[in-house]
């Protein structure tokens, strides 16, 4: 019974991870498409994930029942690969080509609660995605 219970919780966490990954991918692509080399592009890129997480057609997690609220976005410069220095508030928008979106949520578990005392945050599920702005469009790279 214990193994079956752990399997249920782990399966639920896997499903939540999948839902968050779909959101992160869509949000990163949407944000990268808005980068235009100016300050308005950065503001548009910052708003893109929030727009996907809100409204009547919002992407949600936990089988479409919970809003995605824990979202972080950062930017990087670079040509073929992103600069390892990701910036939350970049000073200049001119060379930004990469966008990273991280979405996370606390998975509601039943059987894994027994292990929560051993670890500070065993039920945190997160997904991240990186997109690059190309001259023609945007694409996922990670």
Contact 17, 123 (CB under 8 A): no
Maximum C-alpha span of the chain: 57
Cα separation values, 122 from 11, 23, 69, 96, 116, Å: 14, 22, 19, 34, 6
The rounded distance, in Å, linking the Cα atoms of 44 and 64 is 25
- Write down the pTM of the prediction: 0.88
The two tokens of residue 132 are: 């690059």
Q: What is the pLDDT of residue 73?
A: 97
Q: What is the pLDDT of residue 41?
A: 92
Contact 23, 52 (CB under 8 A): yes
The rounded distance, in Å, linking the Cα atoms of 13 and 41 is 34
Question: Phi, psi (5° rounding) for residue 83?
Answer: -60, 135
DSSP annotation string for 37-60 = SSHHHHHHHHHHHHHHTSSTT--E
Q: What is the pLDDT of residue 113?
A: 66
Residue spans of the domains in the chain: they are: 2-140
Tell me how far the alpha carbon of residue 15 is from its chain's centroid.
15
Using one digit for the tens of pLDDT, what is the confidence trace for 16-71? 999 999 999 999 999 999 999 899 999 999 999 999 999 889 999 988 999 999 99
Contact 72, 101 (CB under 8 A): yes
Q: What is the pLDDT of residue 20?
A: 97
Q: What is the pLDDT of residue 79?
A: 83
- Please choose, from the candidates 99, 85, 84, the residue with its C-alpha nearest in 3D space to the C-alpha of residue 43: 99
Q: Which residue has the higher pLDDT, 80 or 70?
A: 70
Q: What is the pLDDT of residue 78?
A: 86
């Amino acid at each position: 019974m214990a193994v079956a219970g752990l399997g249920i919780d782990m399966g639920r966490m896997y499903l939540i991870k999948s839902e968050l990954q779909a959101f992160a991918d869509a949000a990163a692509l949407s944000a990268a498409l808005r980068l235009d080399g100016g300050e308005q592009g950065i503001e548009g890129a910052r708003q893109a994930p929030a727009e996907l997480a809100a409204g009547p057609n919002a992407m949600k997690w936990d089988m479409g029942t919970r809003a995605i609220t824990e979202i972080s976005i950062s930017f990087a410069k670079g040509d073929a690969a992103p600069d390892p220095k990701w910036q939350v508030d970049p000073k200049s928008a001119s060379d930004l080509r990469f966008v990273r979106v991280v979405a996370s949520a606390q998975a509601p578990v039943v059987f894994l609660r027994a292990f929560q005392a051993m670890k500070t945050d065993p039920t945190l599920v997160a997904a991240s995605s990186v997109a690059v702005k190309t001259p023609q469009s945007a694409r996922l790279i990670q």
